Amino acid sequence: MSGRQAGGPRWVEVDPARLLRWLATFAERHGTPVQTVEEYAVRLAAPDGSTAVLHPPPGAPVPADLDDLVAGAAVVRRVGLLLARKGAVAVGVALGEELEVSKVDSHYVQGRTAAGGWSQQRFARRRDNQAKAAAGDAADLVLRLLVPVAVELAAVVTGGDRRAVDAVLADPRLAPVAALRSPRLLDVPEPRLVVLREAARRARAVPILIDDRSAGTGP
């Protein structure tokens, strides 16, 4: 997957099995790059001005160099997954790309209303209460599925709406899980089982920020 801002850098996600080929293609198209190690990533600077910043996948250690990042990305890890958006939530544990356990749940949350005055305030209170109830039930799922195995998890990967995820992990009972939360938030649609399976795959990917505006082409 990739995402691009108009005229700016773009993110791509590269599966560990394809990473060496991706690196070879980058060098073929842009020239042999010079690598530098940044705080949490490896930066490749090609002769034509193109750059690629490779970040380790969630749970992988900070790389010492590019070879270290490639090796670290290939390791199969157990990660927790929490996807939340409005009243829907999906929680799971994945070993590599395979879901070992999963649960998907949804609750109705009132949408916004065009009404004004007292009626609008009443709907807003109802919506807030419904959202809090959904977050509470989602927290119970995380407590049941992820907290007992937290010591076995390399990381917890989240996705969906950041505010919804934050609301779930604000529950103090989930402190062991919140401590493992990866900074990366996956952009996902309404959580469903198929979305959770795709999130497990994406959790293994190496996120790469590419800027090839100088060269006018991409890897």
Q: Which domains does the chain have, with CATH numbers?
A: 2-75+205-211 (no CATH), 79-202 (3.30.420.60)
Q: If DSSP states are collapsed to H, E and C, what string results for 112-142? A: CCCCCHHHHHHHHHHHHHHHHHHHHHHHHHH
Q: Say which amino acid occupies 183.
A: P
Predicted pLDDT at 8:
75
Q: Do residues 206 and 14 make contact, with C-beta atoms less than 8 angstroms apart?
A: yes
Q: Mark residue 193 as left, alpha or beta (left: phi above 0; alpha: psi -120 to 50; beta: remaining).
A: alpha
Q: Residue 4: pLDDT above 70?
A: no
Residue 111 in tokens: 């949408």
Whole-number percent of the chain with pLDDT over 90? 75
The model's confidence at residue 6, banded by pLDDT at 50, 70 and 90, is very low
Q: Is residue 2 packed enough to be buried (19+ CB in 10 Å), middle (13-18) or exposed (0-12)?
A: exposed
Q: Residue 95: pLDDT above 90?
A: yes
Residue pLDDT, tens place only, 158-191: 999 999 999 999 999 999 999 999 998 999 999 9
Length, in residues, of the chain = 219
pTM for this predicted structure? 0.83
Measured distance CA(111)–CA(124) in Å, rounded = 9
* Strand-pair partners of 2: 12
Flag the least confident range among 68-82, 125-139, 150-164, 184-198.
Answer: 125-139
Separation of CA 123 from chain center: 32
Q: Do residues 45 and 196 make contact, with C-beta atoms less than 8 angstroms apart?
A: no
Predicted pLDDT at 108:
38
Predicted pLDDT at 135:
75
Q: Residue 124: pLDDT above 90?
A: no
Q: What angle do CA 133, 134, 138 make, to 5 degrees?
A: 115
Predicted pLDDT at 125:
54
Q: Residue 136: pLDDT above 90?
A: no
- In this structure, is the dihedral angle defined by the CA atoms of residues 168, 171, 177 and 181, taken in order, positive or negative? positive
Predicted pLDDT at 39:
87
